[in-house]
């Protein structure tokens, strides 16, 4: 029963009550008064928002006594008689010796048991409606606001970069980005990120994230402390739309999260891609799911003109893979990817004073890639990438979850730059083979992680050990791990680390790496990082 049903019952009881009046003339008057009472009741319910305007108008029309003909009245009388035979004892219209004051309406007697039953029915109906519509709930919020959620994290880091004795001075290093090789450096950094997710429908949402960092470093959201207590900047880190129109199809567009099965051998964990990506995820069986990811990403937009001959730089990527899972929370993943960078290699300007190819200079260099001069006379000094980059990347991950919540995860990653061609490089750069570094186009990484997959509570822990080997031109040095060997390529070494939960969603982390340069003058770097992490 709902509120409209209750009003209908009141109408019926009004009709039942009408025949109980003593005189026919009085009956018409009392019906009119009862009609007015019902009208007033309906108006009150409408004003309080219990009834809609349309429902109220319909009930008022139904309650009009002018439409009550003799048949309706007789039916009401019959109903009253049945009620009396069923145990509903009607009171006499006017008890003997008692007069009825003008305007007084007498109703039949209703047993207490029926009153209680009606009260319970009405109470349950009203409570159900109040709960569903959250009447008077101070926590009630508009529907659009309930579809918005926030999450974020904060990290406070102490870092020490150690440079062992025996390193060659910066002037002897091949990469121009190296400015310190001898003096230890101790400093602190913070990282702050806040994301908002707005759900449009069951299949579509948008996400925006702001973070600390700068607009010139795609591989870090750190903010180094020690700026005279000055303010720090916030940047737009992510802004994308995500849609799952089918269980086997996903689309992302904008400034999106990393869509690939990968490690920081190729992509730093802070890299967010710009463009569009689609993933097909057909299920093979209960245990096997395949995936095909395809994406197109503008890397550097360049407008050609009479004085600009450079072309826009793009990244096209595709990855085919499989995921296998078991009931004991174990899983295995394998992905084979091909990342094709278009127009990222440098081009020498045709003459002294010409700048038509200036925008072929490398973007966001860290260190390690083979370089060339874009300007033949070095004025201004612009460095371009000597090699093309067409990266074949194979990533495998085994997660053994038989001892859940503890897991043992082994990850292996391999990459090879298929775009490196020595003859093309000599022709493009004008350099001889002896002036170029040896071909370094391969990289690999192995990592073992023990503990919980993600620390959520105090006392939970995780530990890992890894070995990484990344040659000069295996990957684009601008986008690989910014912590290992302080960023870039042409490095090898070990990493050990661990994390321990000290509170809910709060944990301490320690990470140490010991790295050396693979080719060129000696450059060893020992890095220690101690982090306090929180998230919500």
Q: What is the pLDDT along the chain (536 residues), one digit of tens a residue?
A: 455 554 454 444 444 444 444 444 454 555 566 566 666 767 766 776 666 777 767 766 665 544 444 444 444 444 444 444 444 444 444 555 555 555 555 555 567 777 677 788 887 877 777 776 666 666 666 777 889 999 999 999 999 999 999 999 999 998 988 999 999 999 999 999 999 999 999 999 999 999 999 999 999 999 999 999 999 999 999 999 999 999 999 999 999 999 999 999 999 999 999 999 999 999 999 999 999 999 999 999 999 999 999 999 999 999 999 999 999 889 999 999 999 999 999 999 998 889 999 999 999 999 999 999 999 777 788 999 999 999 999 999 999 998 889 999 999 999 999 999 999 999 988 888 888 888 899 999 999 999 999 999 999 999 999 999 999 999 999 999 999 999 999 999 999 999 999 999 999 999 999 999 999 999 999 999 999 999 99
How many angstroms separate the CA atoms of 398 and 447, rounded?
11
Q: Is the dihedral of CA 386, 264, 496, 402 positive or negative?
A: negative
How many angstroms separate the CA atoms of 20 and 93, rounded?
5
Residues 207 and 240 sit within 8 Å (Cβ to Cβ): yes
**Which of 127, 105, 100 minimizes the C-alpha distance to 38?**
105
Question: β-strands 390-400, 407-417: how paired?
Answer: antiparallel
What is the widest separation between alpha-carbon atoms in the chain? 130
Do you know the residue count of the chain?
A: 536
What is the per-residue pLDDT for 144? 79
Please report which helix (H) or strand (E) contains residue 222, including its range: none
**Which of 318, 321, 315, 364 minimizes the C-alpha distance to 342?**
315
What is the per-residue pLDDT for 126? 75
Domain parsing of the chain, residue ranges: 3-109, 143-535
Per-residue tokens: 94: 């006017």
Q: Under DSSP, is residue 171 helix (H, G, I), strand (E, B) or coil? A: helix
CA distances from 239 to 191, 223, 235, 302, 316 (A): 19, 21, 11, 22, 20
Write a three-state SS string for 377-422.
CCCCCCEEECCCCEEEEEEEEEEECCCCCCEEEEEEEEEEECCCCH
Bridge partners of residue 280, in order along the sequence: 249, 292
Q: pTM of the prediction?
A: 0.76
Angle at 338 between CA 336 and CA 339, to 5 degrees: 140
Please report which helix (H) or strand (E) contains residue 33, including its range: helix 24-47
Residues 413 and 395 sit within 8 Å (Cβ to Cβ): yes
The number of beta carbons lying within 10 Å of the beta carbon of residue 265 is 26
How far is the first Cα of the chain from the last one, in angstroms, to the nearest whole number?
A: 44
Residues 500 and 531 sit within 8 Å (Cβ to Cβ): no
Angle at 122 between CA 121 and CA 124, to 5 degrees: 70
Bridge partners of residue 409, in order along the sequence: 399, 449
Angle at 77 between CA 75 and CA 81, to 5 degrees: 115
Residues 264 and 484 sit within 8 Å (Cβ to Cβ): yes
**Which of 161, 178, 217, 212 minimizes the C-alpha distance to 478?**
217
What is the per-residue pLDDT for 101? 58
CATH class belonging to 143-535: mainly beta
Q: Residue 250 contacts by C-beta under 8 Å, 6 or more apart in sequence?
A: 242, 243, 244, 278, 279, 281
> C-alpha 21: how far from its chain's center?
70
Per-residue tokens: 342: 């278009």
Per-residue tokens: 134: 């959250």
Per-residue tokens: 278: 């689609």
Q: Tell me phi and psi for residue 92, to 5 degrees.
A: -65, 155
């Amino acid at each position: 029963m709902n509120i409209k049903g209750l009003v209908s019952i009141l109408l019926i009881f009004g009709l039942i009550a009408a025949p109980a009046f003593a005189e026919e003339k009085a009956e018409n008057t009392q019906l009119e008064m009862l009609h007015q009472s019902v009208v007033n009741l309906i108006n009150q319910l409408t004003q309080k928002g219990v009834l809609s305007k349309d429902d109220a108008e319909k009930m008022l029309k139904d309650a009009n006594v002018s439409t009550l003909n003799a048949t309706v009245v007789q039916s009401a009388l019959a109903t009253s008689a049945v009620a009396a035979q069923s145990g509903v004892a009607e009171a006499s219209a006017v008890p003997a010796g008692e007069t009825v004051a003008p305007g007084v309406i007498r109703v039949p007697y209703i047993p207490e048991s029926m009153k209680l039953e009606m009260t319970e029915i009405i109470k349950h109906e009203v409570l159900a409606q109040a709960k569903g519509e959250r009447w008077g709930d101070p926590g009630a919020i508009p529907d659009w606001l309930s579809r918005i959620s926030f999450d974020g994290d904060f990290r406070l880091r102490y870092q020490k970069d150690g440079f062992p004795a025996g390193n060659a001075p910066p002037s002897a290093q091949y990469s121009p980005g190296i400015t310190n090789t001898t003096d230890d450096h101790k400093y602190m950094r913070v990282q702050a990120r806040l994301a908002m997710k707005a759900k449009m429908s069951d299949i579509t949402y948008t996400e925006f994230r702001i973070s600390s960092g700068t607009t010139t470093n795609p591989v870090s959201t750190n903010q180094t402390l020690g700026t005279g207590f000055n303010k720090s900047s916030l940047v737009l880190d992510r802004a994308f739309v995500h849609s799952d129109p089918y269980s086997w199809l996903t689309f992302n567009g904008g400034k999106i999260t990393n869509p690939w099965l990968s490690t920081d051998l190729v992509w730093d964990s802070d890299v967010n891609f710009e463009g569009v990506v689609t993933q097909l995820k057909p299920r093979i069986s209960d245990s096997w799911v395949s995936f095909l990811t395809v994406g197109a990403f503008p890397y550097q937009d360049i407008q050609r003109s009479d004085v600009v001959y450079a072309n826009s730089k793009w990244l096209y990527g595709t990855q085919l893979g499989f995921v296998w899972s078991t009931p004991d929370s174990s899983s295995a993943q394998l992905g084979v990817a091909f990342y094709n960078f278009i127009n990222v290699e440098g081009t020498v300007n045709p003459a002294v004073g010409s700048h038509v190819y200036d925008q072929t200079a490398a973007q966001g260099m860290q260190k390690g890639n083979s370089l060339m001069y874009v300007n033949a006379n070095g004025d201004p000094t612009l460095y371009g990438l000597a090699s093309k980059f067409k990266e074949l990347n194979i990533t495998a991950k085994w997660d053994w979850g038989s001892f859940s919540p503890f897991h043992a995860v082994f990850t292996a990653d391999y990459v090879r730059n298929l775009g490196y061609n020595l003859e093309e490089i000599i022709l493009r750069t004008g350099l001889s083979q002896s002036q170029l570094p040896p071909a370094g186009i391969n990289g690999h990484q192995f990592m073992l992680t023990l503990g919980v997959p993600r620390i959520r509570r105090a006392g939970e822990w995780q530990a890992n050990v890894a070995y990484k080997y990344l040659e000069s031109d295996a990957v684009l040095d601008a986008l690989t791990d910014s912590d290992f060997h302080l960023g870039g390529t042409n490095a090898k070494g070990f990493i050990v680390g661990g994390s321990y939960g000290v509170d809910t969603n709060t944990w301490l982390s320690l990470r140490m790496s010991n790295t050396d340069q693979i080719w060129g003058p000696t450059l060893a770097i020992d890095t220690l990082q101690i982090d306090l992490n929180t998230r919500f």
